Structure formats: C-alpha cells, structure tokens
Chains A and B, each alone.
Chain A
Amino acid sequence: MPEQRLTDTVLTAPEGVHVVEQVVLESRGVPYRELNARIHGLVEEGVSAIRLNGLIGQRYIGTNLRHPVHLTIDGVPGNDLGAFMDGPTIEVLGSAQDGCGNTMNGGAIIIHGSAGDIIGHSMRGGEIYVRDSVGYRVGIHMKEYESMRPVIVIGGTAQHFLGEYMAGGILIVLGTNLGSGVAHPSHYVGTGMHGGAIYLRGRVDTNLVGKEVGQMPLGPEDHLILQRYVGEYCRYFRADAEALLRGPFTKLAPLTKRPYGRLYAY
C-alpha cells in the first residue's frame, strides 16, 4: 500500500496539539489484516503518529495496540475500532460503526461524527468522545476497576438500552440535537445497571429509564466530572463548554449494587 512520511499536527489527550512526524497510509481497498499488520509494524518501529487515508469499512483498526500512538483516520472505520486497545489515541475524521472501543482498556477514541451500536462494550478504561449521536446498547456492561474508570461522552443522543448492565464508569449524553423541551429518546436506560453513573443533559422522561436506576441529585463531585469531560469534549469538537455545562443534567445511578439479590430460594 502507498505510504509516505510527513510532518503534521495532532491532538492528544490531555496535552493538546502536537507537531509530529506522521506516516500516511493510503488505505483504500487494503484488506484489514494487511492494514493492521502494517500499523502494528510501524508502531513497533517507534512511529508515534499514523494517518489512514481513504479508510472504508476496514474492521479492527487499532485492535490490541498498546502504545500511546496517535492514529488519525480519514474515512469511515469498520466495526470493532480499537477493540482491546490499551493506550493509543484514535481520531476519526468522520463517523464510526458498531463495536468501537470493545473491551477497551485504555486510550482515547475521538469521533468527529456519529457512531453505531454497542460503543464501549465492556470497556474498562479510556475515553470515547462522539461529536454527534450513537446507536443502541452504548456503554453496555462498562466496568471500573481500581484507578481505571472508563468514560463515554456523546454530543447528540443515544438509542435504547444505553448503559445496560453498566457496572462502572461514566456515561455523559449532551443531547445537543434535542429540540427545546424534547426528552431523550432512549428507552430502558441503565437496565440492570449496578455501578457507575449516567449523566443526561436536557429533559429525561423517567418512565423510560430502567427500574434498577434512580435519579440522584448532583453533588460537587458530579459537577467536577462534568466540567472535566464536557470540557474535554468541547476542546475536541470546538463546542461552547459554558453553554453545555449550564445543563440541566439528570444523574442516573443504580439503586443497589445487587439488582439481582433476592432471586434464589436458599
């Protein structure tokens, strides 16, 4: 596949804009296995920034990458973007498909567009920022562990089963595309949730949330969380943090750590 090296600027969390030497891979039509092998090869060589041009639907980009490399994707990556990854920053100049951040351990994925279903499935660490909206079952079974606390920030809205089985981490949905007074469209939010927190900006129809979660008042710690991650979202997508932070926000958290406690006869 055609390849060139040039100097470019990239955005990395949390330090800001960097000037780096970047390897550009012309990826159109290159099978994913070949493409991913090349990416892993470059990362092992010590390349710190890679740009994939013309990507259309290739799966598993960045899977199991463990270096703080910066991947810029010009195009639409396929399913399972950044699965199992631990450390890289992936910036998608477009939309992403299903399963992005699947079982991810660390790093960041920044999507300048929308994303599909099951974003952040079982993710244990790292951050995912989606400028626009996402599909179904986003943040399903996210979990936190010791210092690892995964974060997903969505600019628009999410479809049903947001944060289902959620066991930890932070999910923020900003609802920027909601008309005034229109409630979030997601049903069964937080069904089976037993850890973590979901913050929804705008009107929430509480009939639609899972029975295992309750609305909690926002404390000072919640405001710090929102300031930090909404701020980060605004830095990536050049949005107005002050306006977004005005809220109002609804916090959903599990009513119990043991939603399935009294199920058995013994």
Chain B
Amino acid sequence: MQPLTHRGRLFACQSIRDVGDKMVLSLASAPAFIVERDETRCIACQVCVRQCANDVHYYDEVDGSVRSHDAQCVGCHRCVTLCPTHALTVRTNPLEFRPHANWTGEALRNIYKQAETGGMLLTGMGCDQPFRIYWDHMVLNASQVTNPSIDPMREPMELVTYLGAKPERLEFRPEMVSAGEDGERPSGSCMALTTEASPQLELQVPIMFSAMSYGSISLNAVLSLARAAEAAGTYYNTGEGGLHQALYPYGAHTIAQVASGRFGVHPQYLDTAAALEIKIGQGAKPGIGGHLPGEKVDLDVSRTRMIPAGSDALSPAPHHDIYSIEDLRQLIYALKEATGYRKPVSVKVAAVHNIAPIASGIVRAGADIVAIDGLRGGTGAAPTMIRNNVGIPIELALAAVDQRLREEGIRHRASLVVGGSVRNSADIVKAIALGADAVYIATSALVAMGCHLCQRCYTGKCNWGIATQDPYLTKRLNPDMGARRLTNLLRAWSLEIKEMMGGMGINSVESLRGNRDHLRGVGLNQVELDALGIKSAGF
C-alpha cells in the first residue's frame, strides 16, 4: 500500500517524536486523551487518517497497520464517529498526573506550557469550569385542578415575538369620514391609531442565532445558520466579520454587527441587514478585544472584512468613540440616521457585576434591543483565564436587569435578548419567565451542526468543518444539511416550549415573559433566590 500523505506530510516515518533540545521534564505534551483502536475490528481503511486534521492517526507502511499519536488528540470524536467498524474509542487519560484536588492535571499542564512558550493560554468555546448552573436549580410550574392546562396539539399557541422598543402608550384620534361639502367629520364609531411604532423584528420562535463571524467559523457554517434563520422565521448574526457576498440574499434575516474594529461595515452592509448590533462585549471575554491572526485572513475573509489578506484583524477592546453612555447614544443614533430609523439597533454587552445599571444606561441611550451574554457564552478564541474567570452567569444578570428596568419604568423601551449557554428548550422557558424576550444560541447551534466541544476552535483545525477555513475541512459541512439540522432543532425546541407553556395553562409567550411565579428554586440559598427574584420550591 502507498503511504498516505495528508497535506504534504509523510506519516509512515513519524512515529518517533522529535524532542530536540526541549526539556523533556515538562509533560506539556503528554497525552490528554488515549486513542484505543480495537485491532480485531480495524480494517486499516484509513478513514481516521484522512479525517483527523490534528494528524493523530497515521498509516504504518512497514507493518501495514494504522496507529496513533495520542498526544495530538483533542477529543473531537470525528474519527470515532466516522470509523466504519467502530474500532475507535477516545478516553481521557486517567493516570496522567498524581491526583491532587488543588493541583489538577490541567493546572500543571498549563504551567508547563507557559513555562515553555511564555505565552497566554488560549481556548475556544464557553467557560468549562464547574460554576453553578442556575437553570438547573430552577423548576417550572404546571396547572393542576385549579386552572386547566392547554393541549398545544389542539389549541393555538403563540410563540411569535417582536423585538424592538414598544410605545409608552397608544394614542388615537377619531376616524374622519367625508361629509360632502362640509369636508370631513368624525365617524363617531371608529378611532384611528396615531402612535407610530418603532421598527421591530418579527420572530416566529423566540430563538435567534447569536454572533459568529465568518472567519471564526466557515462560510458553510454561516450559510447553514442563515438558511435556517430564513426557514424558521428568525435571525442569525454576522458577528464582526462583515457580510460575505453569498449571505446578501439572507439580508432580511441578518443582524449585522458593528464592533470596535468596524470590519466590513460599509453602506451596503448597513442597507442589507434587518437590524444592527453594536458589539460592546462578549460573555466569553468581557473587556477584551478580538484578534483574528493574519494566517486566517485568506482572500475571501479579507474581501468580507475589507482588509488586506494576511494582515491581522485587530478589534480594539473598547470602541474608541464610546467612553460613556452619551457616546454610546451617539453611535446608536449614527446608525439610526444611517438607516433612516427603519431598523432596530441592538447593543450587546457581556454580563458583568453592575449589569443592571449598565443595561439601564443602554436603554436610555436609545437601544431598541439589549443583548446580554453570560459567563458561559462561547467564543472562537479567548484567553483561558478570561473565559473562565470574568463575568457573571446569565441567569443572575437577566434577573437583575429585568427587575431594574421594571423598577425604572423603562422595560418596554427595549427588548431583552440573553445568551451565554442556553442548552435546551427548558432553559429558554426559564429565561423568558425570568424576563427575557428571546434568547441567542450559538454553542447549541454549532453542536447541532456536529461540534463536539473539543474547545480547540482557535487552532483553525476543526475536524467538523465549523471553526476552520481549510477547504479540506470546510467541505465536510454541507450548508443545506447544516440548515436542515438547525431547522429541526428549532422545530423540536418550539414543540417542547409549547408543551411546557400549555402545561402551565399559558397560550402565548407574551404571558410567560417575566412571569417569575412560574419558577421555583431548588437547592439555592436565600441570597440566590433573592437575586433571581423567585421563591423556593415548596412555597
């Protein structure tokens, strides 16, 4: 058999790793995973060799068998999923370091890695630390005896949601009818509405795909999101990567971001989108900017971001024209002016300590939508320490913001969209009951497209064809299939949301919004219950 080459590299003679003059004491490259190949099942078809962009599997010409470099495995399960004979198992390496509750294997490995490179630790996806997940400590209500539940299979259930500022009050004037020579007179029976509505986004389901830029994920992944948003009657978000030409047909379902780098922000971009979102922060990395390394800025990405190919795309940490709420107002209104006041303007922030007054300021600055991203929100790349330690859980942020906006009498002036790890339909029902108008999902959407949470999005070697621009990998994700899977997910979640609402005796998502009476806390202390504004179960 011929040795297989994968992007020009020969594998057969690679079994002895070159340690060179590195200090071998580090264990930084000791395997995190063990790849087990059941030799009785393996037929040496080399599917795994071709599928792994991390070069874990290789064909050994000498003895005609397939072997692995375990240390390169990131645990993405591509090979396990695709092996035709189910010969592969990938396990966490159990005996890697001596057990220590404080000095975990990961803590040690991080230090070794940093001692070797002098660099910041980088990671992908959302915070993987065991912080309390408040969704899992809230339970929902259901009707029993005293009020009837509703069967969503037989009765209409309204999930349609409108995002945008709602008027303070409605004003009417008497409807005029023609009175011959006297001109007009009040009809006496009808009134005409005179209040002008602010622009609104109409969502068939209270779920949108949150910001993921073309550049951080592949065009096929963005196309999947755009097509699914169109099919399901909702929206996807460009992130700060500009709008690829192939995405213009989905403009009516596009929320276009304006971030600190202003990449790809030009007149047609503003025209095409249905709404604009000023990105201030992101849950995975509050307070820091973004950095798409030059090697990921290929020709197509360069065209979309409107920067030269190969140059770094740096998004400064702050918008340098926004140092205050007044400055934010200036950019909000610049965008409204630029779009003739026809499009809602959203402002996205990360959930941080003083999120309630910050959100109040954003609403007062004129935002139509406030999007809040929690501690567990995902990312294509973020410094590990920031991802794991900065920000607060979305459940607490949402409860605080909704409460504050109600107290100030300005809750109607903006819609509230939350993200930062919404994993299933129950999380959505709980979020809406806590006060959200809709949720943003991103990690869930990627999982629907095949992501296995290996957290290595920053390497650009996503074996699932999502967080990569390598054409060899991106073609693994067919945008029509991606869109179908995403549409299925939204359909499934809508069915479940309707079931849960029906069980509570609610037939419209409007009546669930901010209805915290339908939530109870389990296993929470009084401070947490107060922060969430809910009662303990049993009360």
Residues of A within 8 A of B (CB): 32-33, 36, 40, 59-60, 63-64, 66, 79-80, 83-84, 86, 98-99, 102-103, 105, 118, 121-122, 124, 137, 140-141, 143-145, 148, 164-165, 167-168, 192, 194-195, 257-266
Contacts and interface: CB of A to CB of B under 8 A. Distances in A.
Contacts of A263: 119-120, 291
Nearest to A85: B267
Contacts of B122: 264-266
Contacts of A260: 291, 312, 314
A63 B334 CA distance: 7
A164 B320 contact: yes
Given A63-B334, A103-B265, A263-B291, 18 more contacts: A36-B337, A64-B267, A64-B338, A84-B334, A98-B321, A105-B266, A121-B262, A121-B320, A141-B260, A141-B262, A141-B320, A143-B307, A144-B308, A194-B312, A195-B311, A257-B310, A259-B312, A265-B117
Contacts of A83: 334, 337-338
Contact of B270 (A84, A102, A262): A84
25 contacts: A59-B333, A59-B334, A60-B334, A64-B267, A83-B337, A84-B266, A84-B334, A121-B321, A122-B265, A137-B320, A140-B320, A141-B314, A145-B307, A148-B306, A168-B307, A194-B311, A194-B312, A257-B294, A260-B291, A263-B119, A263-B120, A263-B291, A265-B114, A266-B122, A266-B459
A84 B338 contact: yes
A118 B265 contact: no
A265 B113 contact: yes
A194 B113 CA distance: 28
B119 A264 contact: yes
A137 B320 CA distance: 8
A124 B307 CA distance: 9
B510 to A, nearest CB: 31
The 9 closest A-B pairs by CB, nearest first: A265-B119, A122-B262, A64-B338, A265-B117, A60-B337, A145-B306, A264-B122, A264-B119, A63-B337
Contacts of B118: 262, 265
A265 to B, nearest CB: 4
Nearest to B316: A165
Interface residues of B, number: 41
A32 to B, nearest CB: 8
B35 to A, nearest CB: 20
Contact of B312 (A103, A148, A258, A265): A258
B330 A84 contact: no
Interface string B312-354: 1010100011000000001001100111110000000000000
A83 B293 CA distance: 28
Contacts of A264: 117, 119-122, 383
Contacts of B121: 264-265
A144 B114 CA distance: 36
Contact of B308 (A33, A168, A192): A168
B420 interface: no
A141 B270 contact: no
Nearest to B261: A141
Which residue among B119, B270, B293, B337 has the maximum number of chain A CB atoms within 10 Å of its CB? B337
Given A143-B306, A195-B308, A265-B121, A122 B261 contact: yes
Contacts of A140: 316, 320
Given A122-B261, A258-B294, A266-B122, A141 B334 contact: no
B458 interface: yes
B330 A80 contact: yes
A121 B270 CA distance: 17
Interface string B111-134: 001101111111000000000000
B266 A86 contact: yes
Contact of A103 (B262, B330, B337): B262
Most chain B CB neighbours (cut-off 10 Å) among A86, A148, A266: A266
Nearest to B269: A84
Contacts of A122: 261-262, 265
Contacts of A66: 267
Given A124-B266, A167-B307, A264-B122, A194 B314 contact: yes
Contacts of B334: 59-60, 63, 80, 83-84, 99, 102
A36 B341 CA distance: 12
Nearest to A117: B321
